[in-house]
Amino acid sequence: MPDTPAAVLFDMDGTLVDTEHLWWQAAAELAAELDLTLTEDDLPEVLGRAVEHTAGHLHRASRTGRTEDDLVAALNESFSSKVAARAVPRPGALALLAQLHAAAVPTALVSASPRRVVDLVLAGLGTQWFTVTLAAEDTPRTKPEPDPYLAAADRLGLDPADCVAVEDTPAGVASASAAGCAVLAVPSTVPITAAGRVTLLESLEQADLALLGRLAAARPA
């Protein structure tokens, strides 16, 4: 019997569902309202970040008279409407979730998005795949801090070092790595470097239970 991970902890946006480009569109549209044009230099402040972080970045860059709370609300509304209309699973995501479900491997959805957006995605993706779900409101700090992955492992009653996190952004990888998880990274937009317990794949179609088991087993002494 091959090794299996104690649990697999999945990021949502850009990892399980194709929403990173929708988040970028929401941020770019709001930036345009503020007479800003987003470029590649803005990627680290937008992708993989909580809405409050991106709103703060736009507020500082634009020097707008609008409050950060107003920008947060505008981003949430725009992103939610886009997700409801156009979010689709990433290649290989549903097959991997089904494989884990059949093997009775616990799973968690660990997102930096607000609960409102998480629930919209779950309505389409299916709640049956996840043992627990965490949204941005569920921890004091969100990615790139380790809090979300520490909280997910705690809810499952597991050591994070025995879990594998699946991520697509540097901020998410930093969060999972700081929590002590092995990380399977499938970059969506921003490049990620393989180092330590971080393994890169081009697509979740290349991932399976055996690979996740090997990643979990290769924990530091």
Residue 182: closest CA among 215, 208, 145: 215
End-to-end CA distance of the chain: 23
Which of 13, 138, 147, 168 is labelled catalytic? 13
Asked if residues 155 and 108 have their Cβ atoms less than 8 Å apart, the reply is: yes
Asked if residues 28 and 75 have their Cβ atoms less than 8 Å apart, the reply is: no
Which of 3, 11, 159, 208 is labelled catalytic? 11
What type of residue is 177? S
Residue 154 appears among annotated catalytic residues? no
Residue 11 appears among annotated catalytic residues? yes
Give the Cα separation of 121 and 87 in Å (integer): 7
Is the backbone peptide bond immediately before 44 cis, with ω within 30 degrees of 0? no
And the tokens for 216?
């979990």
For the annotated catalytic residues, the residue numbers are: 11, 13
